[in-house]
A and B are shown apart, each in its own frame.
Chain A
Amino acid sequence: MTARRHRSTFRYIGKRLIHAAFTILGIAVINFLLLQLAPGDAAEALAGEAGTADAEYMESLRRQFGLDRSLIEQLGAFLLRIVTLDFGWSFRHGMSNWDLIMDRLPATLLLMGASILLALIGGIVMGVIAARNVGRLPDRLISVGALLLYATPPFWIGLMMIVLFSVKLGWVPTGGMYDVIGGKTGFAHVLDVMWHLALPVLTQAFFYLAIYTRLVRAGMLEVLNLEYIRVARAKGISENRIAYRHALRNAVLPLLTVVGANIGTFLGGAVLTESIFSWPGIGRLMFDAMMQRDLNLLLSILVLSSIFVVIANLLVDLLYAVINPTVELK
């Protein structure tokens, strides 16, 4: 890496950081505008179920959101609260919304990381097999399979897997993150969690498995026709080595950007997956908040999830620039 490249890398990182900051500001403004759309008294809407019970809580909400002041002042107060990570108090859960969300985040990250990994590995393997057998039976089967998976509601696959694997076969538990009664520790606990993780991860991964399979297949077909692959063939390099060492690298790189763009959709899907399997993450928390009509908590989850997506995208962009030195740093 030359000094020039270093300098442009720093400038690139700086630009991406500023961009990320403005995106977060925009997200805050959108959330603020959403809140303005709520009918009637905003404090009542924010409090939801809790509001009917407690007048003092309503008063604190009014003060916290500055609902008695002008719109601009309200926006200022809203932004200030996000910067200071003050997301208010959840009446129902008896803790601050920030603590509540941070408490649930690890479970969601585990689910998300495992399903992205599964979808990526599965998609790459399937895509490469399909591309190397293009037009033949394995390709047809994989392509039809991907088309079907792409059209299937993921939550329905999850329920059907519960019927088959939990109810009929009794292989895996129907929900939860670990056995409540067992009280396992150490390695046994890890195994227990993985046991509970199996169905949620499959549910969450199938849809993306279909997308990645199709992308890898298309990418491989494009790359396999390029000059440098023909040179590699002419040099007598084995087909296996060409597929996995030469072609795959270039076919998979664009996939990284797609994974980055999918992080938001993954988080949205977590609401469904976690609700079905009672997985104690932020998706499940959002479902509960919706059921309790706790708008303040809902908005907090939406803001923090969006910020999470911004940070994840930033990391993916930087990672991409490191992995692929030919990328133009704009």
Chain B
Amino acid sequence: MMRLILRNWTLSLGLALLALILLMALSAPILYPGDPYAMMGPPLQWPGTYPGAPLGTDSLGRDIAAGIFHGARVSLMVGFVSVACALVVGILVGAFAGYYGGWVDDALMRITELFQTIPQFMLAIVIIAIMGPSIQAVIISLGVVSWPTVARLVRSEFLVLRERAFVHSCIVIGMSDLRIIFAQILPNALSSITVMASVLVATAILMESALSFLGFGDPNVITWGTMIGLGRSQLRDAWYIIAIPGLALLVTALALNLVGEGINDAMNPRLRKRKI
């Protein structure tokens, strides 16, 4: 296992970066106890000029490094929880559609297509408008826009796996449908689902940052998107306020994409040469 990870540089780089972000998220309350929104020094200190804040301070004297560390918690949490919700719904819909086929498939897929037709980001905004800006609303809105992708992938996996001999033998020995779906077919689809999930988490994190950048996120928690949004007014003379959280987002999304691609390559060695 370890050897496989090390030989695959996309996977090892992705996992290393992800571990770094995770470490930042976990250490935030220890390294930066207290409110990341609190003023800690003189305002608008460029990175490396003020000893107490290595990444500088923003227009209200808030420590940017503290924001980055605390923001990592929110980004990862929102990304993983919303995708977990999307996985539950998407796997259920996709599994039943793919396994049963016929009118069940038709009905479920029509609904899935419907949700894919509605512009995702706009739908997320309207859900937040209705529920009010809170972290729960952000998670639910991201889950609502993410599940159709899961459903479609799971369905296509089930359509193929359903015809395999092991499934037929399960049917012959009289195993119940639910057991075949969740104990027999689903484990065989897990690797593709994992690949897609890591890319979906990256997309969800970017979307969360976009929502909080526009000011539609939870006003009580600090996220990288909020930091970018707050720094917009200082665009002319203090662009580092925007640049730093943006880089954090880039690294996180890149890490997740690399992990997805790495797992994909490890599963299909034949395709390895085609991708980077």
Contact across chains for A151 and B202 when beta carbons are under 8 A apart:
yes
Is B41 positioned at the interface, with any CB of A under 8 Å from its CB?
A: no
Contact assessment for B235 and A148 in the assembled complex, using a CB-CB cutoff below 8 Å: no
Q: Kindly list chain A residues whose C-beta atoms are within 8 Å of the C-beta of B121.
A: 265, 267-269, 271-272
- Tell me which of A151, A155, A286 contacts B250 (CB under 8 A): A151
Rounded to whole angstroms, the CA-CA distance of A287 and B216 in the bound complex is 10
Q: Mark B222-239, 1 if CB is under 8 A from A, else 0.
A: 000100100010011001
Partner of B119, one of A45, A152, A306: A306
A163 neighbours in B (Cβ, 8 Å): 235, 239, 242
Docked pose: A156 CA to B246 CA in angstroms: 6
Interface residues of B in 96-134 (CB under 8 A from A): 110-111, 113-127, 129-132
Chain A residues lying within 8 Å of B127, measured Cβ to Cβ, are 34
A contacts with B: majority SS: helix
- A34 contacts B250, CB within 8 Å? no
Q: In the complex, what residue of chain B is closest to A289 when comparing beta carbons? A: B129
Query: Does B213 count as interface, using CB distance less than 8 angstroms?
Result: yes
Q: Which of A152, A291, A295 has the most CB of B within 10 A?
A: A152
Contact A290 B129 (CB under 8 A): yes
Q: Is the CB of B118 within 8 A of A162?
A: no
The answer to whether B214 and A272 have CB atoms under 8 Å apart is yes
Which residues of chain A have C-beta atoms less than 8 A from B189's C-beta?
none
- Interface mask (B83-99 → A, CB under 8 Å = 1, otherwise 0): 00000000000000000
How long is the Cα–Cα vector from A22 to B232 in the complex, in angstroms? 43
**B257 at the A/B interface (Cβ < 8 Å)?**
yes
B110 in contact with A309 (CB, 8 Å): no
> Chain A nearest CB: distance from B246 CB in Å?
4
Question: Does A1 make an interface contact (CB < 8 A)?
Answer: no
Instruction: Knowing A148-B254, A151-B257 are in contact, say whether A34-B126 is a contact too (CB < 8 A).
Output: yes
Does B273 lie at the interface of the complex (its beta carbon under 8 Å from any beta carbon of A)?
yes
Is A23 an interface residue, CB under 8 A from the partner?
yes
A298 touches B117 (CB 8 A): no
Residues 211-265 of A contacting B (Cβ, < 8 Å): 218, 221, 261, 264-265
* B214 touches which of A271, A299, A305 (Cβ 8 Å): A271
Looking at A59-67, A76-84, A139-147, A194-202, the stretch in contact with chain B turns out to be A139-147
Contact check, A153 vs B114: say whether CB atoms are below 8 A apart: no
Q: Does A203 contact B (CB under 8 A)?
A: no
Q: How far is the CB of A159 from chain B (nearest CB, A)?
A: 5
Known: A267-B122, A302-B118. A23 touches B236 (CB 8 A): no
**When A26-B110, A156-B242, A265-B120 are in contact, do A221 and B274 touch as well, CB less than 8 Å?**
yes
Nearest-neighbour CB distance to chain A for B236, whole angstroms, equals: 5
User: B246–A160 contact, CB under 8 A?
Assistant: yes
Question: Is B209 in the interface zone, CB < 8 Å from A?
Answer: yes
Closest chain B CB from A75 CB (angstroms): 16
B116 touches A264 (CB 8 A): yes
B276 touches A140 (CB 8 A): yes
Chain A residue at smallest Cβ distance from B251: A151
Contacts of A221 in B (CB 8 A): 274
Is B53 in contact with chain A by the CB < 8 A criterion? Answer: no
Residues on B with C-beta less than 8 A from A16 are none
CB-based contact B246/A27 at 8 Å = no
| Residue B180 CB within 8 A of the other chain | no
A275 to B256, CA, bound (A): 28
B228 touches A302 (CB 8 A): no
Minimal beta-carbon separation of A136 from chain B (angstroms):
12
> Does B195 sit at the interface, judged by CB under 8 A?
no
B18 at the interface (CB under 8 A from A): no
- Closest Cβ of chain A to B226, distance in Å, is 13
Bound form: Cα–Cα A162–B235 in Å: 8
For residue A119, CB closer than 8 A to chain B, the reply is no
B213 touches A155 (CB 8 A): yes
B55 near A: Cβ within 8 Å? no
Asked whether A135 lies within 8 Å of B273 as measured between CB atoms, the reply is yes
Knowing A221-B274, A290-B216 are in contact, say whether A301-B246 is a contact too (CB < 8 A): no
In this assembly, does A310 line the interface, its C-beta being within 8 Å of a C-beta of chain B? yes
- Top 4 nearest A-B pairs by Cβ distance? A268-B121, A151-B253, A156-B246, A143-B276
- Give me 7 A-to-B residue pairs in the complex whose CB atoms sit less than 8 angstroms apart, sorted by A's number: A27-B118, A34-B126, A45-B130, A265-B120, A268-B121, A302-B126, A306-B117
User: 13 other contacts beyond A218-B274, A301-B122, with CB at 8 A cut-off?
Assistant: A35-B130, A38-B130, A135-B273, A144-B276, A147-B257, A148-B254, A152-B253, A153-B206, A155-B228, A264-B117, A291-B215, A302-B126, A306-B117
